Amino acid sequence: MAEVVIVPDAEAAGRLVAGTILDLIATKPDMVLGLATGSTPLSVYRALADGARGIDVSRVRGFGLDEYVGLPEDHPESYRSVIRRDVVEPVGFDPRRIHMPNGDPATIQTAGDEYEAALRASGGVDLQILGIGTDGHLGFNEPGSSFASLTRVKTLTQQTRRDNSRFFDSVDDVPLHCITQGVGTILRARHLVLLAFGEAKAHALQAAVEGPLTASVPASAVQLHAHATVVVDEAAASEL
């Protein structure tokens, strides 16, 4: 069972979660933070940037959840670029300590295993930030993803490509494939923090938190985790 915390708005959620992360950094300066993209975690990153002023965060290690396959690393919408822009630079993390799945098609066959090995060598994620897709996806684990899955290449659904087309000129420019931590990988993090804001997420959130455990709703896997916190606003909680 995940603990559900309903807060007034995304900014309040950001302050709450950033506070938890800063407490962790205080006790473990080289803690491993699991980083998610999307608009949802932005309030956490903003509050973290505020709260980290005057604090040494240079030893924090980070692992990105997922990446598109086939976008050049310096493409503004590659998740490497997004994580750098949204989190690493504003907060002041050391970019050399941030590990992203490698979406280069030339090495994609081995990229999943390499990422898993790096994650294991780090000692594992201390706190994993998660958003949820409108179809219940976690990271880029689309419906049908096994709860035991590890980091691997997946095909994006049409819905996710449509949802993410706002970051590109057109839906045709959204890559067809991605590399993502598996649901099993995500479940190994010591603390999961799933965020959702707005009515558009209410249905997926209800299915994730209260529905049956099913690969059709990958986010329902959070119910299996011993330490999962779901932080939502009233609108996202409206179907609970």
Question: Which residues sit at the interface with ligand GLP, rule CB under 6 A?
Answer: 36-40, 65-66, 131-133, 139-140, 160, 164
Closest contact distance (angstroms) between CB of 192 and ligand GLP is 13
Q: Which is nearer to ligand GLP, 36 or 202 (CB)?
A: 36
Q: Which is nearer to ligand GLP, 15 or 92 (CB)?
A: 15
Give the phi and the psi of residue 169 in degrees, each rounded to 5. Answer: -65, -40
From residue 54, alpha-carbon distances to 17, 31, 49, 51, 225 in Å are: 19, 18, 10, 8, 34
Q: Which is nearer to ligand GLP, 51 or 175 (CB)?
A: 175
Is 104 tagged catalytic?
no
For residues 221, 100, 71, 45, the Cα torsion angle rounded to the nearest 10 degrees is 80
Dist. CA 76–CA 158, nearest whole Å? 22
Dist. CA 60–CA 22, nearest whole Å? 10
- Neighbour-count burial of 5, counting CB atoms closer than 10 A to its CB (0-12 exposed, 13-18 middle, 19+ buried): middle
Is 30 tagged catalytic?
no
Is 199 tagged catalytic?
no
Give the active site residue among 142, 163, 225, 233.
Answer: 142
Give the active site residue among 66, 67, 86, 116.
Answer: 66
The conformation of residue 237, written as its DSSP 8-state character, comes to T
What DSSP element (H or E) covers 186? Answer: helix 183-187
Closest contact distance (angstroms) between CB of 177 and ligand GLP is 13
Closest contact distance (angstroms) between CB of 145 and ligand GLP is 12
Give the active site residue among 67, 86, 135, 233.
Answer: 135
Closest contact distance (angstroms) between CB of 29 and ligand GLP is 26
Give the active site residue among 116, 126, 137, 233.
Answer: 137
Is 191 tagged catalytic?
no
Residues noted as catalytic: 66, 135, 137, 142
